[in-house]
Amino acid sequence: MDLRLKGKRIIVTGASKGIGRAITTCLLNEGARLAICGRDEDRLSRATSELSALGEIHGKSCDLSNLEQTTAFVDWAAEQLGGLDILISNVSAGGGASFRDCVETDIMGAQALMRGSLSHMQDQSGANIICISSRAASMGIPFLQSYAAVKAATISMVKSMAMEVAPRGIRVNAVSPGDIEFDGGAWGEAKLHNPKVYAQFLSENPLGRMGRLDEIADVVTFIASERASLVSGANILVDGAATKGLQI
Which residues does the annotation mark as catalytic? Answer: 147
Question: How far, in Å, CA of 126 to CA of 129, rounded?
Answer: 10
Residues 102, 108, 114: CA angle, nearest 5 degrees: 125
Q: Report helix, strand and coil shares of the chain as percent, to nearest 5.
A: 50, 15, 40
What are the backbone dihedrals phi and psi of residue 203, each rounded to the nearest 5 degrees, phi first? -70, -20
Looking only at the bridges linking them, the beta strands covering 86-89 and 128-132 are parallel
CB under 8 Å to 247, separation ≥6 — which residues? 138, 235, 237
3-class secondary structure, 180: strand
CB 69 within 8 A of CB 99: no
Comparing C-alpha atoms, which of 186, 238, 231 is closest to residue 217? Answer: 238
| H or E element that contains 161 | helix 145-165
